[in-house]
């Protein structure tokens, strides 16, 4: 994984050319909302390809029942069907289906540019899917007549 992508080269008198490098911008501010028993919708603002400029090439959305860090990223489950990135600054959303009810999940995203450079980890967002377990039955109901 390379942390930088080449944007352009600039001629100089002494050195010939030097390269201007920009890191692929990571996503900040990802938000989540439970959409029922087994679905979660993530929302975020699209990052740029080179910093805040352009359009990223790819998203990698991952989730886990444990907190996600750079060290645990590869063991988290990759979501299916991530959207194609929108231009920098546009709102994005993505629904992940097939989750377990009444379960806490952690989500994170990485972004790639067209050169295959990956961003760092986004913020990690946590949400619990809806509860489908009904309350227990009352088993000690009694009736009496007051005199």
State percent of the chain over pLDDT 90: 42
User: Of 34 and 21, which is predicted with more confidence?
Assistant: 34
pLDDT at 32: 54
Q: Once rounded to an integer, what is the mean pLDDT over residues 46-75?
A: 92
In this structure, are residues 32 and 40 in contact, taking their beta carbons and an 8 Å threshold? yes
pLDDT at 15: 44
State percent of the chain over pLDDT 70: 76
The DSSP secondary structure of the chain, one letter per residue, reads: --SEEEEEEEEETTTEEEEEEEEPPPP---EEEE-SSS-EEEEEEPPPSBTTBS--SEEEEEEESS---TTTGGGSEEPSSPPPPPSTT-EEEEEE-SPPTT-EEEEEEEEE-TT--B------EEEEPPP-PPPPPP---------
Q: Give yes or no for residue 88 having a pLDDT over 80.
A: yes
Instruction: Confirm whether pTM is higher than 0.85.
Output: no
pLDDT tens-digit map of 89-120? 899 999 999 999 999 999 999 999 988 899 99
Query: What domains can you pick out in the chain, each with its CATH number?
Result: 24-128 (2.60.40.10)
Q: Give yes or no for residue 73 having a pLDDT over 90.
A: yes
Instruction: Count CB-CB contacts under 10 A for residue 61.
Output: 23
pLDDT at 76: 98
């Amino acid at each position: 994984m390379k942390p930088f992508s080449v944007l352009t080269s600039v001629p100089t008198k002494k050195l010939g050319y030097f390269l201007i490098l920009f890191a692929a911008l990571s996503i900040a501010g990802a938000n989540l909302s439970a959409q029922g028993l087994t679905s979660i919708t993530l929302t975020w603002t699209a990052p740029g390809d080179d910093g805040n400029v352009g359009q990223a090439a790819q998203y990698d959305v991952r989730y886990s029942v444990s907190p996600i860090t750079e060290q645990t990223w590869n063991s988290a489950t990759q979501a299916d069907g991530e959207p194609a990135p929108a231009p920098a600054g546009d709102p994005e959303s993505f629904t992940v289906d097939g989750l377990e009810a009444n379960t806490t999940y952690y989500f994170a995203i990485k972004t790639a540019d067209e050169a295959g450079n990956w961003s760092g980890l986004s913020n990690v967002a946590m949400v619990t899917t809806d509860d489908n377990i009904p309350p227990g039955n009352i088993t000690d109901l009694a009736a009496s007549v007051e005199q």
